[in-house]
Amino acid sequence: MDIQQQTIFGERVPGRPVTIYFEGIRLSAREGQTVASALMAHGFYAFGHSRNLSQARGLYCGNGRCQSCLVTIDGIEHVKSCSTLVREGMMITKYAGDPDVRREMHEN
Ligand code: FES
């Protein structure tokens, strides 16, 4: 689903079409779209799996704070899909691990 007419902002000018891949599946998206919105537009809501809670992960806060939407993009782990824009040829895979916040804090 792609919203073309918004109540407040009026007509939306769609960005150029791009092709992305999720788990090897070719998907269409538009420049300016986040990875999460592109995946959800194609019916993908589970972006990973929590080992600790044994449940699917996906969009939760939608603004980069909760880390529930982490995916692996072009081999880079822990990428927030809700705040990353699509790029042509982007290879996205589910992230099956849990973020190690303490380790990441000490590395920075
Ligand atoms: S949905 Fe919360 S960080 Fe992406």
The pLDDT of residue 19? 98
| Separation of alpha carbons 74 and 81, rounded Å | 13
Q: Residue 9 above 80 pLDDT?
A: no
Q: Residue 83 above 60 pLDDT?
A: yes
The pLDDT of residue 55? 86
Compute the distance from residue 71 Cα to the ligand 1 centre, in Å: 11
Would you put residue 105 in left (φ > 0), alpha (ψ -120 to 50) or beta? alpha
Q: Is the CB of residue 33 less than 8 Å from the CB of residue 81?
A: no
Domains along the sequence of the chain with CATH: 15-100 (3.10.20.440)
Q: Residue 105 above 60 pLDDT?
A: no
pLDDT in tens, 15-60: 899 999 999 999 999 999 999 999 999 999 999 888 777 789 999 9
CA-based nearest residue to 93, from 74, 80, 107: 74
Q: How confident is the model at residue 103 (pLDDT cuts 50, 70, 90)?
A: low
Q: Residue 64 above 80 pLDDT?
A: yes
> Can you tell me which atom of ligand 1 is nearest the CA of 61?
2
Q: Which helix (H) or strand (E) holds 79?
A: strand 76-80
Compute the distance from residue 75 Cα to the ligand 1 centre, in Å: 19
Percentage of the chain beyond pLDDT 90 is 62
Q: Is the CB of residue 31 less than 8 Å from the CB of residue 46?
A: no
Higher pLDDT pick, 52 / 2: 52
Mean of the per-residue pLDDT values of the chain = 86
Would you put residue 62 in left (φ > 0), alpha (ψ -120 to 50) or beta? left
Main-chain dihedrals φ then ψ at residue 81, nearest 5 degrees: -70, -20
